[in-house]
């Protein structure tokens, strides 16, 4: 039997419901409201107005109990509500893994996009149910709801990867995604 500094958790079955968007047993859950997304939308005035008003839920994250610890492989389901702020589509905060490691997203419901930025290059993947988006090590990543229904995806990621949200505030994401008559309008990040 291999030896570990921190013993991994025991093998376990996790019930995954792609329709109800649940993982069972359930681990930590997270709710991000508009006020949690400070400094991320280009239209700061529209953001402030929405935050001070209804302060809507922009996205939620439910996780399995697999811990965010080195060598473990946690999973989570993120659901982004449809909407835009100053025309910019609702999205996750976006983050970089400080300990550069890859990750996969599997689209479950709705229509979305996976925006990635390595500090120089920008990539956009259309995400429809069944699409696996691969995030290579070193690429910051943000998910965007491009449709009129909630957009949900399953993430599977190295537990030791970490989440650096400040990286996006400092470096941006290369592009911003705006609502367009057909699909999405990607514009330069511009601050």
Q: Which residues bind Fe ion (CB under 5 A)?
A: 103
Distance in Å, CB of 103 to Fe ion, minimum:
5
Distance in Å, CB of 96 to Fe ion, minimum:
8
CA distance 181 to 40: 23
Pick 30 or 44: Cβ nearer Fe ion: 30
| Nearest-CB residue for Fe ion | 103
Distance in Å, CB of 27 to Fe ion, minimum:
16
Partner residues linked to 156 by β-bridges: 75, 104
Say if residues 115 and 174 touch (Cβ distance below 8 Å): yes
Say if residues 93 and 34 touch (Cβ distance below 8 Å): no
Pick 74 or 147: Cβ nearer Fe ion: 74
Pick 76 or 145: Cβ nearer Fe ion: 76
Distance in Å, CB of 161 to Fe ion, minimum:
6
CA distance 112 to 165: 20
Residues 6+ apart with CB under 8 A from 137: 97, 100, 101, 102
Pick 33 or 163: Cβ nearer Fe ion: 163
């Amino acid at each position: 039997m291999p030896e570990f500094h921190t013993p991994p958790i025991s093998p376990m079955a996790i019930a995954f419901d792609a329709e109800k968007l649940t993982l069972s047993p359930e681990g930590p859950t997270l709710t991000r409201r508009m006020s949690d997304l400070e400094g991320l939308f280009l239209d700061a005035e529209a953001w402030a107005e929405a935050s001070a008003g209804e302060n809507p839920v922009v996205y939620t994250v439910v996780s399995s109990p697999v811990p965010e610890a080195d060598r473990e492989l946690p999973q989570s389901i993120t659901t982004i509500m449809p909407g835009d702020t100053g025309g910019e589509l609702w999205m996750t905060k976006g983050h970089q893994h400080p300990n550069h490691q890859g990750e996969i997203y599997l689209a479950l419901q709705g229509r979305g996009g996976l925006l990635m930025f390595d500090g120089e290059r920008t990539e956009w993947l259309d995400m429809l149910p069944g699409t696996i988006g691969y995030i290579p090590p070193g690429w910051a990543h943000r998910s965007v709801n491009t449709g009129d229904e909630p957009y949900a995806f399953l993430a599977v990621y190295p537990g030791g990867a970490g989440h650096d949200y400040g990286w996006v505030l400092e470096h941006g994401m290369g592009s911003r995604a705006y609502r367009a008559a057909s699909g999405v309008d990607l514009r330069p990040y511009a601050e």
